[in-house]
Amino acid sequence: MSNYKLGKKPAVHDYKTLKLDYYLDAKAAQIQIPQACDYTSKVNVKWGMLKNDSVGDCAIAGPAHTEMIWNFNEGRSFIPTDQQVISDYSKVSGYDPRKDQPNGENPTDVGCNLLQVMKYWKKNGICGRKIDGYASVDPQNKLQVQAAIYLFGSVIIGVALPAGAKNSPWYLPNGWRQNRNWRPGTWGGHCIVSGKYNMASNNIPVVTWGALKDMSWGFLGQYCDEMYVPLSMDWVGDDKKAINGFDYASLQADLKLFH
């Protein structure tokens, strides 16, 4: 895994971004959050690396994988292509594949600001699909993270990965506080996606580098520096309901809180 590319720039927080706790406060009486949830199992095809083994396009690959979660859960097949992801990555970051060098380097492969990606996704679409809104999530609040995944299908997670995570499970090992290799950001920034959690097992698996990878809540709390929940009508099926029972009218009304 150490040869895979990162590509998330340091987190930038905008006070104007809607916070999910505002939405949850408005909906608290209607929300019952289960202790476990898994929307990733419905994706019955390969996730796809989406060039993130050679290009730092993780911040675009993450939303593309999210679109897969939404659509497969609603009975639609959506498989993003490498070309679509690279095209959007180029538009957001300025990446020019024509400047790829034989040694694998490219001076224009500089990664993305994740908040900028969320704005681009809403305004222009990623892989041809737009979201209707997004909100920031507090990664230190487990209930809020659970609610975001359960209600809206997934969360987009930005992590400042430690060097110690290159070839290790994404759990906090014994003595990690005293080990310089486990300091946040010593490896670099990365964008991952979660559409699954289980509080009993203390686990929140994520989609990264074309596969599902286990991650502990402790790891998330230590290294996540930004998290967003996107809201899209792709989360609604042909019956006008989301898989968790939310109906079209409720989601349409909720969109007003995401603007």
Q: At what angle do helices 58-73 and 114-123 cross, to 10 degrees?
A: 50
* Assigned domain for 14 exists: no
Length of the chain: 259
* Assigned domain for 68 exists: yes
What share of the chain in percent tops pLDDT 70? 92
Per-residue three-class SS string for 77-88: CCCCCHHHHHHH
Q: Residues 55-94: pLDDT tens digits? A: 999 999 999 999 999 999 999 999 999 999 999 999 999 9
Is residue 31 within 8 Å of residue 147, measured between CB atoms? yes
CATH number of 191's domain: 3.90.70.10
Is residue 187 within 8 Å of residue 165, measured between CB atoms? yes
Q: Which two tokens stand for residue 226?
A: 């930004």
3-state secondary structure of 174: coil
Number of domains making up the chain:
1
* Assigned domain for 142 exists: yes
* Assigned domain for 41 exists: yes
d(CA 22, CA 140): 16
Q: Residues 215-232: pLDDT tens digits? A: 999 999 999 999 999 988
d(CA 16, CA 2): 36
* Assigned domain for 201 exists: yes
* Assigned domain for 157 exists: yes
Question: Residue 124 sits in which domain range?
Answer: 20-258
**pLDDT at 1 (0 to 100):** 46
Higher pLDDT, 29 or 9: 9
* Assigned domain for 15 exists: no
Q: At what angle do helices 82-93 and 114-123 cross, to 10 degrees?
A: 110
Q: Which two tokens stand for residue 69?
A: 């979660």
* Assigned domain for 12 exists: no
Question: Considering the entire predicted model, what is its pTM?
Answer: 0.93
